Amino acid sequence: MTTVLITLLLAGGLRAAAQDDAALRRLAGESAQLRGLHGAALAAGLRDDPRAVTGRELEVLRRLARAPGVASVVYLDGRGRVRWTEAPELVAVTLGDYGRATGAELRAASEAMASTSPVVRRVPETPVYEAAVPILEGRSTVAVLDLWLRRDGLRSLLAEQAPPAPPGGEDHARQARQSYLAGMAHFEKGDYEKALQEWERARELDPEDRDVAAGLARVRQLLGRSPRAGDAIPLQAGSAFDRSPERAEDQRAAQQHYLAGVIFYQKGDYARARDEWSRALRIDPDNVDAAAGLARMERLVTPDAAKTCVDLYQARRYDDAAAACAACLDQDPASAACAATRRLMEGRVP
């Protein structure tokens, strides 16, 4: 039985690793496409004014920052200084100073400064990825565009600008999916008429696509039009198709609190991580990332919190052990076992 269990655990771990590798490869490819779409405009802006971000760059950067799956955007010049980010006080600081100020270590960005190909890394213990895209002038890297994003963060943005598939060049299902993604991009921007056009085209190509049916039901509801046969029942507010301006703003605000919680968690400030994730869920109760973060914290707080802390330390799961010890000491500040284990991890015991 033990052998079977170990085999299953190993198989599960290998599948998860393979899925993550596939996500990294796909994001690297999408990052290269993103550079193809916007690299020329960014490079031209750098030429126009090497000292400050220009209007043509700003248009691209703000558009990326507003994308639903993108948590943050940091744009670095060739010297490794922040040329633009949404926090004005961090513009013009070095990459190292940015990391010290935010607690977000931009490892992919550091690698991309010496590369001509996009670099993608998984942010540890989170579903967030860092994609660093070198901006080229000839064969030289003159800037780096660094994005923290979800696995599907670039999908809609790229689908919006993808050229239509040539007639007969792909099967109907693939063309339908392309139209669905293009419609989703329009939907997220609030352009419901264009979303309706794309999804009606997708319905003609693939009448069985449930995502298309749900999208058509929701967009017709928003446009005040009667549903048609085959449309799905309109989804409730808070679903993937609830993209009113107010809802979109709530989702983005919640995602920012989630990302802040990730940074605090990585720094070992578990109380503030819990606070940020709780705020994210108050703003957007459907934020699955924040819910997962809180669930992770709760799993570490058990009735026998001291044993959990020690067991995790002995298993060399140091990040989890640190969180468990912090939670243990929150519950019982006098716990000698938790305090001693935390001192061991901090290197205070000779």
Residues 225 and 255 grouped into a single domain? no
Checking if the pLDDT of 120 tops 70, the result is: yes
- Which tops the pLDDT comparison, 214 or 100? 100
Structure tokens at 41: 């405009």
Residue found under tokens 């994003």: 149
Residues 115 and 31 grouped into a single domain? yes
pLDDT of 128 reads 82
- Amino acid (1-letter code) at residue 229: A
Name the DSSP class of 77. E
Checking if the pLDDT of 349 tops 60, the result is: no
CA distances from 131 to 28, 150, 195, 248 (A): 7, 10, 28, 23
pLDDT of 156 reads 65
Which pTM was predicted? 0.48
Pick the closest to residue 136 from 127, 124, 147, 144 (CA basis): 144
* Banded model confidence at residue 135, pLDDT cuts 50, 70, 90: very high
pLDDT in tens, 298-329: 655 555 666 777 777 777 778 778 887 887 77
What mean pLDDT is reported for the chain? 74
Contact of 82 with 98, CB cutoff 8 Å: yes
Query: What average pLDDT score do residues 218-222 get?
Result: 75
Residues 55 and 87 grouped into a single domain? yes
Of 151, 174, 195, the position where a domain reaches its end is: 151
Query: What average pLDDT score do residues 80-92 get?
Result: 86
- Which tops the pLDDT comparison, 334 or 341? 341
Residues 138 and 271 grouped into a single domain? no
Of 243, 271, 292, the position where a domain reaches its end is: 243
Structure tokens at 221: 């509801």
pLDDT in tens, 229-247: 444 444 444 444 455 566 6
* Banded model confidence at residue 14, pLDDT cuts 50, 70, 90: very low
Query: What average pLDDT score do residues 252-278 get?
Result: 77
Residue 137's CATH number: 3.30.450.20
Pick the closest to residue 84 from 55, 105, 113 (CA basis): 55
Checking if the pLDDT of 124 tops 60, the result is: yes
331 domain residue, yes or no: yes
CA gap 266, 128 in Å, rounded: 13
157 domain residue, yes or no: no
Checking if the pLDDT of 165 tops 50, the result is: no
Query: What average pLDDT score do residues 73-100 get?
Result: 88
156 domain residue, yes or no: no
Residue 265's CATH number: 1.25.40
Checking if the pLDDT of 103 tops 60, the result is: yes
Residue found under tokens 């239509």: 164
Q: Which residues span the domain enclosing 319?
A: 249-345
pLDDT in tens, 327-339: 777 766 656 667 7
Checking if the pLDDT of 205 tops 90, the result is: no
210 domain residue, yes or no: yes
Would you tell me the crossing angle of helices 270-283 and 318-331 to the nearest 10 degrees? 90
